[in-house]
Chains A and B, each alone.
Chain A
């Protein structure tokens, strides 16, 4: 396993009226983050909030190209990104113990925090297709270039790690500075990850290691 310190490129926030970040996603131009009762779109260049949607937003956030998916209490809401309307909901696999959310290859991937699990879920029915075990509490989840990454947070220590989607084995680990939480994780498809800063109420961009 490769292990290194996470390289923080930039910090966004704190944002007015936001006391914690619960989920993060990226729609190709804006970084979206969940702040309890709102989804907020941040322009990654200016760092300003460009738009907000009033919707219950208690944990992970994901984007499938057209819709935002957002965990609230024990449900996953499917939200029209353009209008902000909740189109449908499915039950969350962790029954409310859910944390991170990602969209990839036609499925939703849901982190179950204390159970240290990641579920692959059918976005239409909410059916659990398979479950991957992790070693630590799972916060954010994301897929990029066929790699499955997730954030962890246990006893004031956080890292972002790449795991084998078949075995759950840790392949690579980026450690965040002590006391820095990761709540929510999303790749921009390139060499950046966006991480929610939990109770700090900010969002960090960290560098994804280059493949050689």
Chain B
């Protein structure tokens, strides 16, 4: 490799991006562009980094397929960290195939991990798991191992497999000590915190208490009838009645479950489920219809009986009714949950991850911004949203350092 490129790459590795830039700032050959791109990424200018890496990929000739593929991987990682989820996944897959073909196992695995992280973020847990499985059993350097275990833990946490998540995080912690990269260690630590912070609230017989993820997991095997506000479903063990597409029915069952074993007045049900302030006959008629529908849906799990003043939930085969709710319940909780990862999100990425329209997300963000719960920076398409008070960009970036080594 060339002299100045070697010097600049060594400066980057030593954590001196400015020293690296000093050496190649005025050069526009392919390796210099790539180095400048990585230095800019480390300095936090992700937009500039992205355009430099893209130019570098173009500047590497057709005979430098590997170097070009590494640039694509680095660009994909920047896209992921800046939550640009619309970045073409196919390009990354092609780069990964090129690296595999040329025996660059480490960077190919890095590309696979980025793919899996993107799928995880989009909620495609099974696909993320499959992508990881394809990469299994490769001997990887510590930093790559950490990244892999973080994805494994992320999948496990979202699938409520706490033991697996803890095991993965323990492996990540071991590997991170070898890798000796402070930013990476911080990421493992914050992932571990998730397991020790309340993941949900349990509401039963008019009382509330916080639940850790492990305790939420235990609910899956408990005898109780669970009204799950995370998945908008009612379940007992393996029997699940999904009500995600029936928000009114879910609202009714939730109100009934929170009051259980007491009954709930018609007025309370109407106010809570229909958002109506005044009662009239048409509301009463509608309530009768909706309760009838809910009764049909809940058939395998519970009955709903009329009482003097309203209705009461009567679970079958169990004497316990629980409501599982988010730790802090507020409007736009799902959007806030995503934003609370501290990364800057575009509204379109949020819409993609939430599975809603860009307009809906935009309205939610505007509302949250007015109450100071989120902040935005940038303009137009480059506009990003994050939850305060995160200072600057946390480093989620592990750009492939062997990028420039011949």
- Chain A interface residues toward B at CB < 8 A: 20, 22, 36-37, 56, 58-60, 71-74, 92, 94-99, 113-114, 139, 153-156, 178-179, 181, 183, 198-199
Q: Given A154-B64, A183-B1, A199-B406 in contact, is the A114-B29 Cβ separation under 8 Å?
A: yes
Interface centre among A22, A72, A94, by most chain B C-beta atoms within 10 angstroms, is A22
Is B47 interfacial (CB 8 A cutoff)? no
Minimum distance in angstroms from A9 CB to a CB of chain B: 23
Task: List the count of A-B residue pairs having beta carbons below 8 Å apart.
Answer: 82
Cβ–Cβ contact B102 & A154, under 8 A: no
Q: Given A155-B63, A179-B102 in contact, is the A199-B405 Cβ separation under 8 Å?
A: yes
Q: How far is the CA of A29 from the CA of B23 in the complex (A)?
A: 35
Q: Given A36-B10, A179-B102 in contact, is the A74-B402 Cβ separation under 8 Å?
A: no
What number of B residues sit within 8 Å (CB to CB) of A?
Answer: 23
Cβ–Cβ contact B7 & A156, under 8 A: no
Minimum distance in angstroms from A140 CB to a CB of chain B: 11
Is B103 interfacial (CB 8 A cutoff)? yes
Q: Given A58-B10, A72-B7, A154-B63 in contact, is the A96-B2 Cβ separation under 8 Å?
A: yes
A residues less than 8 Å from B23 (CB atoms):
73, 96
Is B3 interfacial (CB 8 A cutoff)? yes
Cβ–Cβ contact B103 & A156, under 8 A: yes
A residues less than 8 Å from B2 (CB atoms):
59, 94, 96-99, 113-114
24 inter-chain pairs at a CB distance below 8 angstroms, sorted by A residue, are: A59-B3, A59-B6, A60-B3, A73-B3, A73-B4, A94-B2, A96-B2, A96-B4, A96-B5, A96-B7, A96-B27, A97-B5, A98-B3, A99-B1, A114-B29, A154-B64, A155-B102, A156-B102, A156-B103, A156-B104, A179-B102, A183-B1, A183-B406, A198-B405
Query: Whose C-beta in chain B lies nearest to the C-beta of A73?
Result: B7
Q: How far is the CA of A36 from the CA of B13 in the complex (A)?
A: 12
Q: How far is the CA of A96 from the CA of B4 in the complex (A)?
A: 5
Secondary structure class of chain A's binding surface, majority of residues: loop
Minimum distance in angstroms from A90 CB to a CB of chain B: 13
A residues less than 8 Å from B63 (CB atoms):
154-155
Cβ–Cβ contact B402 & A199, under 8 A: yes
Cβ–Cβ contact A22 & B6, under 8 A: yes
Query: Whose C-beta in chain B lies nearest to the C-beta of A98?
Result: B3
